[in-house]
Amino acid sequence: MNGKAAAAGMDGDAGSARRRPAVPRLRFEFDPVRTGSPWWMPLAAVFAALAVCAVFIAAGGTDPLAVYKKMLTGAFGTRFGLTETLVKAIPLLLCGIGVSIAYRISFWNIGAEGQFLAGAMAATAVTIYMPDLPAVLALPLMTAAGIAAGGLWGLLTALPRAYFQVNELISSLMLNYIALLLLDYVVFGPWRDPGGLNFPGSPMFTADQSLPAFGSTRLHFGLVFALAAALLYAFTFRHTRWGYELRLIGANPEAARNAGISLNKHLLLVMLASGGLAGLAGMAEVSGVAHRLMYGISPGYGYTAIIVAWIARLHPVGLIVSAFLFGGLIVGGYSVQTLGLPSATSEMLQGAVLFFLIAGAAFGMIRIRRVR
């Protein structure tokens, strides 16, 4: 009797369990294949960076709103500030387009800084070893030398990846330091200006070796290079077969290989173009702004270009806007020195923006499911 009762009780419990409704809950899953993020994520990263940096600025005893207002007016509030912002945007846009081309096929080129320096040194070599060329020959030759040197420096990263599977993050980063040490060698050594009062730099460029400027400002012809590169970038990826093949490689490398597309060939061509654009930026900087090769010629344009490309989501128009805004951030960093803050404030903002961009990309890989 007790056994029958127990069995009946078990049957009753099983029946009630079957009739009990399932409780819904949320499950968070990390999906590395899912790489998309909402369109507003870059804007959220910028605002989050401003908010976090405001805490540190306030902790130093300065009003964050006053600092941001000073940066805004210093970069965009005057004619001088606006032209200086455009001057800073030129190398950022060229390097940003360069790294965007590589990122299109998921090749993580972080060596734009070294490619920029290689282009600057190659352009300067033309002025050192062929000083008497007229402008009609000197400027095209300097431009070609800058593009070729940057492209070849990019190939130093692509060749080990294509044929020996060397991680491009490590090789491109190490090549940045090699280029920087090579720059130090030439400006402190064989190319040092004998009349420069021990200043580490090459002799000043002549008028025939300098890019023409617009009016009385420092804004130079490199702006035309940058805008033309943006148009060519947009046209290539939208309307050419090569651009279609690159998009296919970025979306599905295995499908591209099965379609007969040579991945190694496209990788080499992409890094040749990516490095060439960064090298063109280096040529434009020494010929249009500094008018000499000197120590510290780049304040980190190649690294900032990575943030520019991420903010723009590799879109041509977004690259132009992002480069312009980050150029203003650099110029605004100089303006806050009148408030007692270092110009490195802008670098703190850039680092914070990159941090939140990476966090946003990771957040985009999280999938939320409702399960029972």
Give the pLDDT score at 4: 53
Give the pLDDT score at 343: 80
Q: Which domains does the chain have, with CATH numbers?
A: 63-340 (1.10.3470)
pTM: 0.88
**Could you list the pLDDT tens digit for every one of the 372 residues in the chain?**
455 555 445 455 545 545 565 566 666 555 544 445 677 788 888 899 999 999 999 998 999 999 999 999 999 999 999 999 999 999 999 999 999 999 999 999 999 999 999 999 999 999 999 999 999 999 999 999 999 999 999 999 999 999 999 999 999 999 999 999 999 999 999 999 998 888 899 999 999 999 999 999 999 999 999 999 999 999 999 999 999 999 999 999 999 999 999 999 999 999 999 999 999 999 999 999 999 999 999 999 999 999 999 899 899 999 999 999 999 999 999 889 888 888 888 889 988 988 888 887 777 666 666 666
Give the pLDDT score at 36: 55
Give the pLDDT score at 110: 95
Give the pLDDT score at 41: 80
* 3-class SS string, the chain: CHHHHHHHHHHHHHHHHHHCCCCCEEEEEECCCCCCCCCCHHHHHHHHHHHHHHHHHHHCCCCHHHHHHHHHHHHHCCHHHHHHHHHHHHHHHHHHHHHHHHHCCCCCCCCHHHHHHHHHHHHHHHHHHCCCCCHHHHHHHHHHHHHHHHHHHHHHHHHHHHHHCCCHHHHHHHHHHHHHHHHHHHHHCCCCCCCCCCCCECCCCCHHHCCCECCCCCCECHHHHHHHHHHHHHHHHHHCHHHHHHHHHHHCHHHHHHCCCCHHHHHHHHHHHHHHHHHHHHHHHHHHHHCCCECCCCCCHHHHHHHHHHHHCCCHHHHHHHHHHHHHHHHHHHHHHHHCCCCCHHHHHHHHHHHHHHHHHHHHCEEEEEEC
Give the pLDDT score at 196: 82
Give the pLDDT score at 198: 81
Give the pLDDT score at 34: 47
